[in-house]
Amino acid sequence: MKREKSEKLFIEAEKYIPGGVNSPVRAFKSVDMPPVFVDRGKGARIYDVDGNEYTDYICSWGPLILGHASPVYYEGIQEALAKGTTFGAPTAVEVEIAKLITEAYPSMEMVRMVSSGTEATMSALRVARGYTGRNKIIKFEGCYHGHSDGLLVKSGSGTLTFGVPTSSGVTPGTAQDTLVAVYNDLDSVKALFAQNPGEIAAVIVEPVAGNMGVVAPDINFMKGLRQITEDQGTVLIFDEVITGFRLAYGGAQAVLDIKPDMTTLGKIIGGGMPVGAFGGRRDIMETVAPLGGVYQAGTLSGNPIAMKMGLNTLTYLRDHPEVYQGLEEKAKLLEAGFRENIKKTGVKAQVVRFKGMTCLFFTDQPVDSYAAVMTSDTGAYTKYFKAMLDAGNFLPPSQFEAIFISAAHTKEDIEKTIADNYQALQQLV
């Protein structure tokens, strides 16, 4: 596959934008090639600037649950644009989306809209600190919660890919309030509570880890987290920026049947626009300004165009529960096909699937922890990624990311990808 226009654009982009991209994983650095510049998308497909067609398994890293350019997102958008794009004053659509989100997530009695997942998690932590009057937080190794200072400690996603466990520019003072525990290991959490009695404001966790590849939660671990945080007066925050409205309409908390104190959302709730949200128990959320003393604000927060696209998406998902059944069926198909190919080719690899979230790891170890994830052969992933790209599959350009599918993907798309996966694995033998 030729990608000359992409290559040229990248050379130009590198002159003006750090690394040529506006978010690090897009640079394709970990797969050792220049990035693909996208021209357009439709349904499950994207088309690059050279005219190549791919089945997209990134889906903008999760937001596009209905695929690219679905008319659902755009319903009423022309009219909304004609009325004006931002007012800095409240609009009716903000009330509508807040109502819908709180109905879908009963643990979120109140919700505040922001413009990204990073803002959502950063703000939720400030609220948890304000509410408890404590300073420290616990996060898990390999979990990513956006790029705010205190959360860039042993985070996942791009920071794993680049082998930078902690970003430079984060002060030791900030990092020292972030305690890091081991995902799926309750004893590591208990030890931190024992060492920091009465000091931990919040535990923040991805209820299904999606930023070290996919690691499924041990249900006893998650229930244990709920119990310890309740006993210790610590705020349990489920970061559902990926899992919210993806695993199920009610997110991971509905699937796991665990009620966190606070939840952060992003990605899908914006229908492809920059949106995040944080919310939770009323008594906690009442500490947020202007009701309480925890300051949080945003010029474009609750932007009416973004809210309308989000509302369109969430309303569709509420009214079409079959979307979730379809996502899971397609993920199961992918899982079974990949497993069969691994067996046939003898490549050392594992498939992890949780509901509609899937990941292929190049390791011979069962993947149930960050330690197991880190045994993956990233060189093998790079070769695999390139073979899959040339066969027309747009996979995440990193071993440590989830495969995202959408309602627009068909069984035939998945079957073709399974056939391509076989060929790509053969090349690794």
Ligand X SMILES: Cc1ncc(COP(=O)(O)O)c(C=O)c1O
Is 218 labeled as catalytic in the residue annotation? no
Question: Considering CB under 6 A, how many residues would be counted as binding ligand X?
Answer: 17
Q: Smaller CB distance to ligand X: residue 121 or 313?
A: 121
Using CA atoms, how far residue 42 sits from 45, 65, 67, 370, in Å, is: 5, 12, 7, 35
For residue 243, the minimal CB distance to ligand X (Å) is 8
Asked if residue 345 binds ligand X (CB under 6 A), the reply is: no
Selected range binding ligand X among 43-51, 90-98, 141-149, 334-342, rule: CB under 6 A: 141-149
Is 231 labeled as catalytic in the residue annotation? no
Q: Which of 41, 43, 142, 146 is close enough to bind ligand X by CB under 6 A?
A: 146
122: tokens are: 């950063």
Q: Which of 155, 211, 232, 301 is close enough to bind ligand X by CB under 6 A?
A: 211
Torsions phi, psi of 202, nearest 5? -150, 150
Q: Which of 242, 349, 403, 428 is close enough to bind ligand X by CB under 6 A?
A: 242
Taken in order 239, 121, 143, 23, the sign of the CA dihedral is: positive
Is 267 labeled as catalytic in the residue annotation? yes
Asked if residue 280 binds ligand X (CB under 6 A), the reply is: no
What is residue 393's three-state secondary structure? strand
Catalytic residue (choose from 136, 154, 267, 330): 267
Q: Smaller CB distance to ligand X: residue 22 or 426?
A: 22
Taken in order 72, 75, 77, 80, the sign of the CA dihedral is: negative
Q: Smaller CB distance to ligand X: residue 24 or 337?
A: 24
Asked if residue 177 binds ligand X (CB under 6 A), the reply is: no
Taken in order 72, 58, 20, 3, the sign of the CA dihedral is: negative
Identity of the residue numbered 210: G
Site string for ligand X, 49-88 (x = CB under 6 A): ------------x---------------------------
For residue 266, the minimal CB distance to ligand X (Å) is 5
What is residue 107's three-state secondary structure? coil
Asked if residue 126 binds ligand X (CB under 6 A), the reply is: no
Q: Which strand (E) or helix (H) includes residue 284?
A: helix 282-285
Q: Which strand (E) or helix (H) includes residue 383?
A: helix 378-390
Q: Which of 206, 377, 401, 413 is close enough to bind ligand X by CB under 6 A?
A: 206
Helices and strands of the chain, counted as H and E runs: 16, 13
Q: Which of 52, 70, 121, 341 is close enough to bind ligand X by CB under 6 A?
A: 121
For residue 169, the minimal CB distance to ligand X (Å) is 17
Q: Smaller CB distance to ligand X: residue 273 or 428?
A: 273
Catalytic residue (choose from 177, 185, 239, 261): 239
Asked if residue 117 binds ligand X (CB under 6 A), the reply is: yes
Residue 207, number of CB atoms within 10 A of its CB? 25
Q: Which residues bind ligand X (CB under 6 A)?
A: 61, 116-118, 121, 144-146, 157, 206, 210-211, 239, 241-242, 266, 276
- Could you list the active site residues? 144, 239, 267
